[in-house]
Structure 1
Amino acid sequence: MFVNVRAVLFDLDGTLIDSAPDLGAAADKMRTDRGLPSLPLDHYRPMAGAGARGMLGTAFDMAPDHPDFASMREEFFVNYEARMTVLTRVLDGVEPLVNQLVQRHMAWGIVTNKASRFTDPLTRSIPLFRTAGAVVSGDTTPHSKPHPAPLLEAAARLGVAPQECVFVGDDERDIVAGHAAGMGTVAAMYGYLGVQSDTQAWGAHAAIKNPLQLLQLLGAP
Structure 2
Amino acid sequence: MFANVRAVLFDLDGTLIDSAPDLGAAADRLRTDRGLGPLPMQAYRPMAGAGARGMLSVAFGITPEHPDFPSLREEFFANYERRIHEQTEVFAGVPELVATLAERSLRWGVVTNKMARFTSLIAQRVALFQGAGAIVSGDTTPYMKPHPAPLLAAAEQLGLTPQECIYVGDDERDILAGRAAGMGTVAAMYGYLGAGASPTDWGADAVIESPLDLLKFIVSV
Return the TM-score normalized by structure 1: 0.98
On the 8 A contact 2:116/2:139 being kept in 1, the answer is yes
Matched with 2:116 is 116
Q: Which amino acid aligns with 1:161?
A: T
On the 8 A contact 2:46/2:192 being kept in 1, the answer is yes
Q: Kindly indicate whether residue 128 of structure 2 is the aligned counterpart of residue 132 of structure 1.
A: no
Which deviates the most, 182-191 or 118-127? 118-127
Give me the whole-angstrom Cα distance separating, in 1, the residues matched to 2:188 and 2:142.
Answer: 26
Deviation at 1:102, TM superposition (A): 1.1
Give me the whole-angstrom Cα distance separating, in 2, the residues matched to 1:154 and 1:131.
Answer: 14
Deviations 1:41-96 (A, max 9, x none): 00000000000000000000010000111111000000000001000000011010
Matched with 2:157 is 157
Matched with 1:95 is 95
SS state at 2:9 partner: strand
Give me the whole-angstrom Cα distance separating, in 1, the residues matched to 2:109 and 2:100.
Answer: 14
What is the correspondence of 1:63-102 to structure 2 with a 5 Å cutoff?
Answer: 63-102=63-102
Q: Kindly indicate whether residue 33 of structure 2 is the aligned counterpart of residue 5 of structure 1.
A: no
Give me the whole-angstrom Cα distance separating, in 1, the residues matched to 2:124 and 2:212.
Answer: 23
* Aligned residue pair count: 221
Give me the whole-angstrom Cα distance separating, in 1, the residues matched to 2:145 and 2:183.
Answer: 14
Deviation at 1:195, TM superposition (A): 2.9
Deviation at 1:98, TM superposition (A): 0.4
On the 8 A contact 1:85/1:122 being kept in 2, the answer is yes
Q: Which amino acid aligns with 1:115?
A: M
SS state at 2:120 partner: helix
On the 8 A contact 2:163/2:184 being kept in 1, the answer is yes
Give me the whole-angstrom Cα distance separating, in 2, the residues matched to 1:87 and 1:156.
Answer: 33
Q: Which amino acid aligns with 1:24?
A: G
Q: Which amino acid aligns with 1:126?
A: V
Q: Which amino acid aligns with 1:26?
A: A
Deviation at 1:196, TM superposition (A): 4.6
Return the TM-score normalized by structure 2: 0.98
Ranges in structure 2 where 5+ consecutive residues have no aligned partner: none
Matched with 1:200 is 200
> Which aligned segments of 4 or more residues in structure 1 are displaced greater than 2 angstroms?
none
Deviations 1:148-188 (A, max 9, x none): 00000000000010011000000000000000000000000
Indicate the RMSD between aligned Cα atoms, in angstroms: 0.9
Give me the whole-angstrom Cα distance separating, in 1, the residues matched to 2:113 and 2:220.
Answer: 31
Deviation at 1:123, TM superposition (A): 1.5
Q: Which amino acid aligns with 1:204?
A: A
Q: Kindly indicate whether residue 36 of structure 2 is the aligned counterpart of residue 30 of structure 1.
A: no
Deviation at 1:12, TM superposition (A): 0.2
Q: Which amino acid aligns with 1:73?
A: R
On the 8 A contact 2:21/2:41 being kept in 1, the answer is yes
Deviation at 1:124, TM superposition (A): 1.6
On the 8 A contact 1:172/1:196 being kept in 2, the answer is no
Give me the whole-angstrom Cα distance separating, in 2, the residues matched to 1:88 and 1:52.
Answer: 16
Matched with 2:219 is 219
Q: Which amino acid aligns with 1:9?
A: L
Deviation at 1:129, TM superposition (A): 1.2
CA spacing shift, 1:196–1:148, aligned 2, 3 Å: farther
